[in-house]
């Protein structure tokens, strides 16, 4: 499992988040890169002494399942609201993270955007 450099992880995250309709990237007051839809955050990323971390909005059931895996942990301060984090995701993590980020987006998005999303992704 190869770990990526921070620039590669940021690029992956941006590619996923900014492909979502009306998603925007801002830098919050803590210097974190935050992705929002209609003013609501769905992904937050930052760097610390341990490397790159990515946090996303989840629900309690998904959060419980993810916390059983070794690379996910409850996001400090906002974990009680269902947020989950991963430190230094590897290349193998990005398929799952793409799905989790899309779910996070749909949790934060207004109903009209969920409708647009569903139209674009009809099976």
pLDDT digit of tens for each residue in the chain (123 aa)? Answer: 455 688 889 999 999 999 998 999 999 998 999 999 999 999 999 988 888 999 999 999 999 999 999 899 999 999 999 999 999 998 899 999 999 999 999 999 999 988 888 888 876
Pick left, alpha or beta for residue 82 (phi over 0 → left; psi -120 to 50 → alpha; otherwise beta).
Answer: left
How many Cβ atoms from other residues are within 10 Å of residue 95's Cβ?
Answer: 9
Asked whether the beta carbons of 77 and 105 are under 8 A apart, the reply is no
pLDDT digits (tens, 9 = 90+) for 75-98: 999 999 999 999 999 889 999 999
The two beta strands, 51-56 and 84-87, are antiparallel
The total of other beta-carbon atoms located within 10 Å of residue 5's CB is: 11
pLDDT for position 123: 60
- pTM attached to this predicted model: 0.91
């Amino acid at each position: 499992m190869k770990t990526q450099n921070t620039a590669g992880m940021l690029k992956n995250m941006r590619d996923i988040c900014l492909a979502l309709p009306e998603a925007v990237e801002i830098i919050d007051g803590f210097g974190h890169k935050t992705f929002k839809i209609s003013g609501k955050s769905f992904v937050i990323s930052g760097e610390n002494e341990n490397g790159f971390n990515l946090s996303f909005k989840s629900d309690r059931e998904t959060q419980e399942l993810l916390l059983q895996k070794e690379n996910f942990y409850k996001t400090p301060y906002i974990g009680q609201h269902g947020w989950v984090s991963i430190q230094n995701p590897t290349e193998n993590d990005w398929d799952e993270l793409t799905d989790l980020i899309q779910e996070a987006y749909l949790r934060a998005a207004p109903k009209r955007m969920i409708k647009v999303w569903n139209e674009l992704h009809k099976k």
